[in-house]
Chain A
C-alpha cells in the first residue's frame, strides 16, 4: 500500500479537457493573488509606508511563487487541441506577469521608486488580463 501511495504521489495524473481548464483557471486564480500581493507591497513602499526589506521579501516571494505556478502548469500535458490553444493563451498572460514581477523585484532592490511605480501600473494591466483569463475559462 505504501509503495502504491508513493508511486501515485510521484506520477502526475492524466487530465481530460475539463480537468485541464480547471488547472488553468486555478493557476490564473493563484497568479491573481500573487500579483496583488506584490502590487500592494510595492504601492505601500512607493507611498513610503513600508520598510524596503519587507517589500523585497514579499515581492521576491511573489516572483518565486509565480515561477512555481508556471512550472506547475507547464508540467501538465494538454490532452487535446483546444487544451493546447488554452495553454498558449495562458502562457501569453502568465509569462509576462512573472517577468514583470522580476522587474519589480529589481526595482525594489535598487529602491528605484519611479520604476516601481511604472511596474506596479504594468502589473495592474496584466492583472486584469489574468482575471479575464480566470473568468473566461
Chain B
C-alpha cells in the first residue's frame, strides 16, 4: 500500500510540476488568439518531454549519470563548456521569469507592486533550496500545483463548444487576421514551454538525489509517461478555457490576471483563488527547480560535489552557484523588464537550444556499456531521433520568427 501511495504521489507531483510560467502564459495567449488550432504544439512538446525525461531518468537510474555529467562525457570539455554557457543563460532567463511570475501572482492577491515582492520571493526560493528536503520540495509544490485542475473543471462549466474545440485541434488552420509567421512563432513558444531544458536536468539530477537504481525505473517511467502527459492536459485546459471567454472578445492576453478570468467566470471567487494558488505553486516550484538545475549543471560540469543529499557544508560550491543564480535572476527582474516578455523570450530561446541538452541524452541512452539491458530500444530511439529532428528544425526557425514577428506582436 505504501509503495502504491508513493507511486501515486510521484505521478501526481509530476502533473503539478509540469506546468510553469511558460505554459501558463503561452497557453493563455494562444487560446485567446488562435483557439485550439495550436493544441498540436502542446501535444508534440509533451510527448517530446516525456520521451527524453524517460531516457534521462533511465540514464540516471542505470548509468548513475545526471544530464550534464553525460554532456561533458560525450561532447568533450570544450563543446560542453559552450553548451553549459548557453544553458546557464537560458536557466537564468527562466529563473528570472519564474521569480517574476511568483511576484506577479502575489501582486494579484495583495495589490502590492510585484517589484516589491521580487527580492522577498528570491529570498524565499533560496531558503527553500537551502533548508527544505528534496522530497518535500517536490511533493508539496507538486501537490499544490494540482490546484490548476480548476481550469479543467472550468472547461466543463463554461459554454464550451466541444465539437469546435476538437475540430480546431485536429484540423489546425491559421485564424483569419493572423499571419503564418505569428502562428508558427507561438507554436514554437508552446513547444519550447513544454521542453524547457531545466526540467529534464532537474528530473535526472533529482533521480540521483533520490538514489534511483534500476529497480526505480518503473516509478520513474510512471512519473514521466503518466504524470507529464497529464500535466500537458492542464496546459491544454488553460488554452481551452480562454477560447469561449477571451477569444470572442479579441482580448490579447498580456498578464496572469487575464489568464485567470475564464476561471472566475466559470467558478467565481473560489475557483479564482484556487487558480492563483496553482499559479503560485507552479511558478515557485519552477523557480526553485531552475535555480537548483543551475547548481546541478555547473557542479556536474566541473565535477564538484553536488545535490541537496549533501549538507551545504559538504557541497558549498553547489549551494553558492544556486544562490548566485537566484541573485542574478532577481537583479535582472528588478531592472523592471516585463516578466511576461521575459517568459516568452525564454521559452522561445529555450526551443532554439533544446538539441544541446537532448542530443547527449540520446547518445548515452544508446550506449550499451553504460545502460546494459536498459539501453534504448527501437521505439525510444525512433521517437528520440524524430523529436531531435523536430528540435533541430525548431532551433533553426526560432530566431528568424522572433525577429520577423517582433516576438509575436
Q: Which residues of A contact B (CB under 8 A)?
A: 29-30, 32-34, 36-37, 40-41, 44, 48-51, 53-54, 56-58, 61, 65
Set of chain A residues within 8 Å of B269, measured between Cβ atoms: 48-51
- Can you list 14 A-B contacts with CB-CB less than 8 angstroms, sorted by A residue number? A34-B252, A37-B249, A44-B261, A48-B268, A49-B264, A49-B265, A51-B276, A53-B107, A53-B111, A54-B272, A54-B276, A57-B107, A61-B255, A65-B254
Contact check, B257 vs A33: say whether CB atoms are below 8 A apart: no
Set of chain B residues within 8 Å of A30, measured between Cβ atoms: 252
B250 interfacial by beta-carbon distance below 8 Å? yes
Contact check, A61 vs B254: say whether CB atoms are below 8 A apart: yes
Please pick, from B249, B252, B264, B268, the residue contacting A54 in the complex, using a CB distance under 8 A.
B264
Interface residues of B in 69-126 (CB under 8 A from A): 107-111
Please pick, from B110, B246, B250, the residue contacting A53 in the complex, using a CB distance under 8 A.
B110
Query: CA separation between A99 and B346, bound complex, in Å?
Result: 35
Contact check, B249 vs A41: say whether CB atoms are below 8 A apart: no
Interface residues of B in 259-282 (CB under 8 A from A): 260-261, 264-265, 268-269, 272-273, 276
Query: CA separation between A53 and B246, bound complex, in Å?
Result: 20
Set of chain A residues within 8 Å of B257, measured between Cβ atoms: 41, 54, 57-58, 61
Chain B: minimal CB distance from A52 (Å):
8
| Chain B residue at smallest Cβ distance from A43 | B265
Please pick, from B254, B255, B265, B272, the residue contacting A51 in the complex, using a CB distance under 8 A.
B272
| Chain B residue at smallest Cβ distance from A36 | B249
Query: CA separation between A53 and B257, bound complex, in Å?
Result: 10
Contact check, A33 vs B261: say whether CB atoms are below 8 A apart: no
| Chain A residue at smallest Cβ distance from B245 | A40
B219 interfacial by beta-carbon distance below 8 Å? no
Set of chain B residues within 8 Å of A56, measured between Cβ atoms: 111
Set of chain A residues within 8 Å of B245, measured between Cβ atoms: 40
B390 interfacial by beta-carbon distance below 8 Å? no
Contact check, A36 vs B265: say whether CB atoms are below 8 A apart: no
Contact check, A44 vs B264: say whether CB atoms are below 8 A apart: yes
Query: CA separation between A41 and B272, bound complex, in Å?
Result: 12
| Chain A residue at smallest Cβ distance from B112 | A53
Please pick, from A29, A50, A53, A61, the residue contacting B109 in the complex, using a CB distance under 8 A.
A53
Query: CA separation between A41 and B190, bound complex, in Å?
Result: 26
| Chain A residue at smallest Cβ distance from B104 | A57
Query: CA separation between A10 and B314, bound complex, in Å?
Result: 52
Interface residues of B in 360-409 (CB under 8 A from A): none
Set of chain B residues within 8 Å of A29, measured between Cβ atoms: 250
| Chain A residue at smallest Cβ distance from B262 | A40
B209 interfacial by beta-carbon distance below 8 Å? no
Query: CA separation between A48 and B249, bound complex, in Å?
Result: 21
The 7 closest A-B pairs by CB, nearest first: A36-B249, A53-B111, A49-B268, A58-B257, A33-B250, A33-B252, A57-B257
Given A48-B269, A49-B268, A49-B269, A54:B251 Cβ within 8 A = no
| Chain A residue at smallest Cβ distance from B252 | A33
Contact check, A36 vs B251: say whether CB atoms are below 8 A apart: yes
Set of chain A residues within 8 Å of B108, measured between Cβ atoms: 51, 53-54, 57
Given A40-B245, A58-B257, A61-B257, A51:B250 Cβ within 8 A = no
| Chain B residue at smallest Cβ distance from A29 | B250
Contact check, B268 vs A51: say whether CB atoms are below 8 A apart: no
Please pick, from A40, A44, A57, the residue contacting B255 in the complex, using a CB distance under 8 A.
A57
Given A40-B245, A49-B265, A54:B250 Cβ within 8 A = no
Query: CA separation between A96 and B235, bound complex, in Å?
Result: 37
Please pick, from A32, A50, A61, the residue contacting B250 in the complex, using a CB distance under 8 A.
A32
Most B CB atoms within 10 A — which of A33, A48, A54? A54
Query: CA separation between A56 and B246, bound complex, in Å?
Result: 18
Query: CA separation between A3 and B261, bound complex, in Å?
Result: 43
Chain B: minimal CB distance from A31 (Å):
10
Query: CA separation between A65 and B257, bound complex, in Å?
Result: 14
| Inter-chain pairs besides A37-B261, A41-B261, A58-B255, 18 sampled, C-beta below 8 Å | A29-B250, A32-B249, A32-B250, A34-B252, A36-B250, A37-B249, A40-B245, A40-B265, A49-B269, A51-B108, A51-B273, A51-B276, A53-B109, A53-B110, A53-B111, A57-B257, A61-B255, A65-B254
Set of chain A residues within 8 Å of B254, measured between Cβ atoms: 61, 65
